[in-house]
Amino acid sequence: MYKALVYVTLKPSILDPQGNAVQVGLNSLGFDNVKDVRIGKYLEVTLEAEDKASALAQTEEMCKKLLANPVIENYRFDLMEV
């Protein structure tokens, strides 16, 4: 069994209205040193695989096909055996 920790973020060229709203909120609370906020997704996926190479390949496919939109998002993941 493996657990993939997947991090999905918007590409730098994509506007992030949620991030902007959080930044404005933080600034209004007195956190004037916050200059930028980007919102992303964090997913934990537990999967069965024969070996680590297979788990890596499966996780990569999951990210490309469903977990991230490669047109507007970047992703990365860490894989651990559980």
Mind listing the pLDDT tens digit for each residue in 14-61?
999 999 999 999 999 999 999 999 999 999 999 999 999 999 999 999
Looking at residue 15, its pLDDT comes to 97
Q: So where are the chain's domains?
A: 2-81
Question: What own/partner pairs with CB < 8 Å and gap ≥ 24 does 44-52 have?
Answer: 44/3, 44/4, 44/5, 44/6, 45/3, 45/4, 45/6, 46/1, 46/2, 46/3, 46/4, 46/82, 47/1, 47/2, 47/3, 47/4, 48/1, 48/2, 49/2, 52/2, 52/79, 52/81
Task: Tell me if the domain spanning 2-81 has CATH number 3.30.1280.10.
Answer: yes
* Banded model confidence at residue 1, pLDDT cuts 50, 70, 90: very high
pTM score, whole prediction: 0.88
